[in-house]
Amino acid sequence: MKKQAWKCLSGSSLKVMAMLTMLIDHLGCYLLNDIPSMNVPLFDLWGISPTIYSLCRTIGRTAFPLYAFLLVEGFTHTRDKRKYGLNLFIFALVSEIPWNLVHSGTWLHPTQNVFFTLFLGFCGLYMLEHLKSRPLILVAGITSLLAFAWIFRADYDFIGIGVILCLYLLREHSILRLGIGVTLLRAGWRATPAFVLMEFYNGKRGFIQGRAGKYICYAFYPFHLVILWILKYHVLH
DSSP one-letter string for 108-120: --SSB-HHHHHHH
Is 80 exceeded by the pLDDT of residue 237? no
Residue of higher predicted confidence among 29 and 236: 29
Write down the pLDDT at residue 174: 87
What is the pLDDT averaged over residues 163-169?
96
Q: What is the average per-residue pLDDT within 10-19?
A: 97
pLDDT of residue 3: 59
Q: Is 113 in contact with 96 (CB distance < 8 Å)?
A: yes
> What's the rounded Cα separation, in Å, for the pair 5 and 98?
41
Task: State the first-to-last Cα distance of the chain, in angstroms, to the nearest integer.
Answer: 59
**Using CA atoms, how far apart are residues 119 and 121, in angstroms rounded to an integer?**
5
Instruction: Give me the pLDDT at residue 1, please.
Output: 46
Ramachandran bin of 173, using left for φ above 0, alpha for ψ from -120 to 50, beta for the remaining angles: beta
86-119 CB burial, b ≥16 within 10 A, e <16: ebbbebbebbbbbbbbbbeeeeebeebbbbbbbb
Element (H, E) at 170: none
Going by pLDDT thresholds of 50, 70 and 90, the confidence category of residue 187 is: confident
Residue 2 confidence (pLDDT) above 60:
no
Query: Residue 62: helix, strand or coil by DSSP?
Result: coil
Q: Give the mean pLDDT of 151-171.
A: 96
pLDDT category at 85 given cuts 50, 70, 90 is: very high
Interval 16-52: pLDDT, tens: 999 999 999 999 999 999 899 999 999 888 888 999 9
pLDDT, tens digit, 9 for 90 and up, residues 89-143: 999 999 999 999 999 999 999 999 999 999 999 999 999 999 999 999 999 999 9
Q: What does the alpha-carbon distance between residue 100 and residue 195 come to, in Å, rounded to a whole number?
A: 30
